[in-house]
């Protein structure tokens, strides 16, 4: 696995190990992050650790026409219990994603470091990182954020402080944009229930490089 220097480059994703790790080190500069995402690579590490860059195989994605909206979710959407906005509270969304309790998913701590939070806020100010916010009684109760690479949305994280709020954000993201693919990175049951599926790294890169 390659150790990155100050030079703005990544090794081929075909050099990733069995866990999808491509490289270690480098920085979270805007240029490096953009190069990473355009190459099918993303950072994932914890506080106190070096930056680790991944390109997993298989890759979890969702094709928008395969979105699954259950009958109960359709009823929730129809009731209008939640108000949904776009790019109105990016910093609040990422802050909530950083602090939300994920013990129910078997996770502890957070992989959204302060350094990562700052880097993605910079990308948002450049119009590259996007957010979806879900409100209930004027309180932010759910949302998600990620990067828009032309017509692919590279999802980073979501949170939900009340039942179904993150699902509402995800559904609105898809229905209100013309993305050809949603990059969900790695498998989880929550996204699978919404229609996400695993594809090979090669297939993912085919779609990504076609943008």
Which residues are CB-contacts of 209 (< 8 A; sequence separation ≥ 6)?
Answer: none
Q: Quote the crossing angle between the two packed helices 114-125 and 90-99, to the nearest 10°.
A: 160
Cα four-point dihedral sign 66, 22, 156, 45: positive
Q: Per-residue pLDDT tens, the chain, 211 aa: give them.
A: 899 999 999 999 999 999 999 999 999 999 999 999 999 999 999 989 999 999 999 999 999 999 999 999 999 999 999 999 999 999 999 999 999 854 344 344 468 999 999 999 999 999 999 999 999 999 999 999 999 999 999 999 999 999 999 999 999 999 999 999 999 999 999 999 999 999 999 999 999 988 6
The reply to whether the predicted model has a pTM over 0.85 is yes
Q: What is the pLDDT of residue 109?
A: 43
Q: What is the pLDDT of residue 8?
A: 97
Phi, psi of 165, rounded to the nearest 5 degrees: -65, -40
- Asked if the peptide bond before residue 58 counts as cis, ω within 30 degrees of 0, the response is yes
Tokens found for residue 164: 């179904």
Q: What is the DSSP letter of 69?
A: -
Q: What is the pLDDT of residue 211?
A: 60
Locate tokens 């509402």: which residue? 168
Q: Which residues share a beta bridge with 21? A: 54
Q: What is the pLDDT of residue 100?
A: 81
Q: What are the chain's domains? A: 2-56 (3.30.70.3550), 60-209 (3.40.630.70)
Q: What is the pLDDT of residue 111?
A: 82
Q: What is the DSSP letter of 46?
A: -
Q: What is the pLDDT of residue 105?
A: 43
10 contacts 31 by C-beta, under 8 angstroms: no
What is d(CA 110, CA 152) in angstroms, rounded to the nearest whole number?
Answer: 25
β-pairing, 52-54 vs 21-25, is antiparallel
């Amino acid at each position: 696995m390659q150790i990155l220097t100050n030079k703005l480059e990544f090794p081929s994703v075909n050099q990733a190990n069995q866990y999808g790790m491509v490289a270690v080190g480098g920085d979270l500069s805007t240029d490096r992050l953009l190069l990473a995402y355009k190459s099918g690579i993303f950072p994932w590490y914890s506080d106190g650790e070096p930056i680790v860059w991944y390109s997993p195989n298989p890759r979890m994605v969702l094709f928008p026409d395969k979105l699954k909206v259950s009958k109960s979710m359709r009823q929730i959407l129809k009731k209008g219990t939640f108000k949904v906005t776009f790019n109105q509270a990016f910093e609040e969304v990422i802050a909530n994603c950083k602090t939300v309790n994920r013990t129910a998913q078997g996770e502890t701590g957070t992989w959204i470091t302060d350094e990562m939070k700052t880097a993605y806020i910079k990308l948002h100010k450049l119009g590259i990182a996007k957010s979806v916010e879900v409100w209930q009684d004027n309180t932010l109760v759910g949302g998600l954020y990620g990067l828009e690479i032309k017509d692919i949305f590279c999802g980073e994280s979501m949170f939900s402080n009340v039942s179904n709020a993150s699902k509402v954000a995800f559904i609105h993201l898809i229905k209100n944009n013309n993305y050809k693919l949603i990059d969900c990175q790695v498998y989880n049951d929550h996204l699978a229930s919404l229609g996400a599926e695993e594809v090979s790294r090669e297939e993912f890169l085919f779609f990504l490089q076609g943008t």
